[in-house]
Amino acid sequence: MFRPLFLQRRDSRPCRMRPQNSAAPAPPSSQPRHRRLRTRGSGGSRPAVRRALSGRGAPPRRNRFNFLHHFLTHRDMNHEIPTTPQTVLLTDSRSLSDPENSLFFALITPMDDGHRYIRELYQRGVRRFVVSRPLQEDAMPGAEIYHVADTLQALQELGAERRKEARIPVIAITGSRGKTMVKELLYQLLQPDYRVARSPRSYNSQIGVPLSLWDITPESTIGIFEAGVSRAGEMDRLSRMIKPDVTVITNIYDDHDEGFPSRTAKIAEKVRLIHGAEVVVYPADDTELAHAIKSQAIGEQKLMGWSRKDRSASLFVSTESRGGETRVTYMLHGRQPRRVTLPFTGNWQVENAITALAVMLLLEIPSQVLTQRMATLRPVGTRLQVSEGINRCLIVRDDYTCDFHSLLPALDFMARRRTAGLKMTVVLSDIAHDGMDATEAYAGIARLLKFRGVKRIIAGGAEISAFAHLFSDFDARFYPTVNDMYKAMTTSDFASELVLIKGTPSDVFDSFARQLEARTHETVLEVNLDALVHNYNFFRSHLKPSTGIVAMVKASGYGAGSYELAKSLQAHGAAYLAVAVLDEGVDLRQAGITMPIMVLNPKVLNYPQLFNNRLEPEVFDFDVLTEIIDAAMRAGIKGYPVHLKIDTGMHRLGFREEDLDRVIEIIQNQDAIRVCSVFSHLATADCLDMDEYTRAQLELFDRCSHKVQAAFPYRVMRHILNTAGILRFPEYQYDMVRLGIGLYGIPVLNNGMEEGLRPVSTLRSVIIALKSYPAGTAIGYGRHGLLERDSLIATVPVGYADGVNRHMGCGRCSFLVNGTPCPTVGNICMDACMIDVTDAQLPAIGDPVEIFGPGNPVTALASKLDTIPYELLTSVSPRVRRLYYRES
């Protein structure tokens, strides 16, 4: 193992863990065991805590230490929470995998309260809970309930204790982008020499960091942990937990700025992670960042800035890309130049690899070893994605590292997409299990798959095949190698299955996933589920906790596809979904969506189907009102929920104020339906110069809705605010609001109030042909694309049949290639278009082309076409493959 002097601690003894308590734990009582515990912030002494717990929203973590007891201690009591190597730390009820061994930690967040799920978990077999609020325990015999004053603070102190207990060097990584990439590259580079404890996926939040620190085991010899902040004041808490020896700052960009007033403020917050570190690695060409680091550096802290411009920098690098490789020439402290070769050329990949190179040089890895390992780096995937498969299958592909810990969130992601009629299947390779015995690891995988309801396993690899006997409860097929498995599998082997594909080598598993996809069009609409949830929470933060959100998923989720969006919104607590037509609601029900769904269609022709699928219609005139009452009476239904629409100024649909007496009388004289909500639609909430009209609508609605509420003995909810209204008129949020285009990351106000929204949909294709033409050449139909210079022209397989508006042609719009806007040339064809890539950086066949997305906003394209983003989003053709993914 290579370990430089600056990382050798004065106390280099191995980490000593608390010995096993020889006394057996007392048998469980038939009554709940109630413990009150104090944390440092609650007025009591610091708890003698040696146990990590996690917050809601993260998958369960498994304790793998070889000791049995840790303590949560009250100042005058000493009660033990017995743990075993099988103990599961559970924070999300949806991630339950082992009830008998689970300990649930109820965190309270602005969006949720973990205490809400205790009763459900108890009914599912969980018996141990750590809480901060009183519980009604009479109905929970045998439960062990432990109280703390602040569950998040307790969690973070637990993480800090684990870090303190482990006498190993720790690398902490922060920055705007690349944290996970750099961490995984370092894992590849260090894994041959170190037992690496590292953050699972992107666990870098106030909850994720202590959860990650719990993965430090007695066998760990180095730790690599991410630290992410979303607002000022968060980094100090992370820094106190991680206590890094080496702090790595990848970069600071303007994205994800919503929690900071300026880039300067964001830099100041992230730089706080250097406190206490012995070495800081950072990009020295960012002068503002470099100045902030130097101004906060103290004592003998070593600064290692890498630069492409300054030859006097600690690490000076130059790069040259060709033939799919990048040659990096570097000089460390002005010494003799050396070279390494990277097996990729992407700008982000190269930058992340240079950062990893700097850390490796700090660790004094011999140059010949470093050269060999850098040349064999594998690109790091971070996506969990889902797409429609052949033969009624749903395909989940996880391209993240294939290890025991990363399997847990992948199975969790898969399980949340389970629907009736789909059998769950997992395709695996050998699984890395750092620090775990192989038998223990594969036995744990078998238990986990069984609890999750997986029925079939297909696996390739010598190691996993050696443990085939552990999977006897499954329909299982094992192959000695991944290639043998790939050759043996055919598309006819899969039908009506939810298939998780995860393993190495990634290119083989990628090929297998593509074989099972229903659509193979090179053009794809990528739908970022993380961005969807981020936008949902952005608007959620502007509402009272009691206000519900009606999420608009009409028009197939604004072109993105409603089912996956609905799954995510249902999981994150939306009150209602709203669709435009009955068929959309039926499709969601058949896909397993159980939450309330509102149908906004002007007419419903099939009321039995409406009733059978528990879809709640909008009622906007007397014809619809009498129709639904008659239909419900014929079906013998009583109290069916409907939503009463009032026309306050949109003048599209709805009852007028003078209609309300008659409407109320009709509804009062029957019992087939009941008014679930009364609502209206704002016409000018996004028009800053028409607030007088909007306020008149709001006042009229307030008057009308009060009248409706007063007419009935039951609760009638109210809602009128749309995306713009949520931000501009929060005093009228009533019981619910309706969130539409803002949910998909599209701003409507252009006044800064929506800064921080993230685009959900990216329409992307690839270059399939490249040719050079001299000036004067005409390109495309009608010879409308006349070149004014010698040009390199790329053909892209996306046209107006895919949803690319014909008016985007002839240079009116540009698409993004390797970060460069490339104008269209000539007319848009049905199935293809041409773009001028002369100015793009090293364009090549197969390079991605962004039609619209984060780098080429759909709002800008819509403005050039004199239309609105709604039209472009909903125009994407059904033949374009939808790919849903998460990266966190």
Confirm if 565 and 553 have CB atoms less than 8 A apart: yes
Rounded to the nearest 10 degrees, the angle between the axes of helix 367-375 and helix 347-362 is: 160
Local structure of 642: helix, strand or coil: strand
Residue 414: how many other CB atoms lie within 10 Å: 24
Distance (Å, whole) CA 349 – CA 473: 42
Rounded to the nearest 10 degrees, the angle between the axes of helix 562-571 and helix 529-540 is: 50
Confirm if 317 and 308 have CB atoms less than 8 A apart: yes
Q: If you compute the radius of gyration of the chain from its CA atoms, what whole number of angstroms results?
A: 29
From residue 1, alpha-carbon distances to 18, 245, 246 in Å are: 27, 18, 18
Question: What is the torsional sign of CA 762, 765, 771, 777?
Answer: negative
Which residue is catalytic, options 183, 270, 502, 554? 554
Question: What is the torsional sign of CA 857, 859, 864, 870?
Answer: positive
Structure tokens at 357: 């190179």
Residue 272: how many other CB atoms lie within 10 Å: 20
| Degrees to nearest 5, angle at CA 580 with 579 and 581 | 100
Q: For residue 740, which of 618, 617, 600, 619 has the smallest C-alpha distance?
A: 600
Distance (Å, whole) CA 132 – CA 150: 6
Local structure of 453: helix, strand or coil: coil
Residues 6+ apart with CB under 8 A from 585: 579, 597, 599, 610, 613, 615
Kindly tell me the number of DSSP H helices and DSSP E strands found in the chain: 25, 42
Q: Where are the alpha helices (DSSP H) in 711-835?
A: 723-728
Which residue's entry shows tokens 């007025």?
A: 43
Residue 554 annotated to the active site = yes
DSSP character string of 655-707? B-GGGHHHHHHHHHT-SSEEEEEEE---SSTT-GGGHHHHHHHHHHHHHHHHH
Q: For residue 330, which of 287, 380, 367, 282 has the smallest C-alpha distance?
A: 367
Distance (Å, whole) CA 158 – CA 51: 6
**DSSP class of residue 172?**
E
Give 32's Cβ-side CA count (13 Å radius). 21
Confirm if 703 and 657 have CB atoms less than 8 A apart: yes
Distance (Å, whole) CA 342 – CA 325: 6
In this structure, are strands 88-90 and 61-62 parallel, antiparallel, or unpaired? antiparallel
Q: For residue 61, which of 398, 400, 403, 408 has the smallest C-alpha distance?
A: 408
Residue 558 annotated to the active site = no
Which residue is catalytic, options 164, 638, 771, 781? 781
Which residue's entry shows tokens 């990363």?
A: 406
From residue 853, alpha-carbon distances to 538, 848, 850 in Å are: 19, 12, 7
Residue 312 identity:
S
Residues 6+ apart with CB under 8 A from 744: 532, 535, 557, 558, 560, 759, 760, 761, 873
Give 833's Cβ-side CA count (13 Å radius). 35
549 forms bridges with which residues in the sheet? 737
**Which stretch of DSSP H or E encloses residue 616?**
strand 615-619
Enzyme catalytic residues: 554, 781
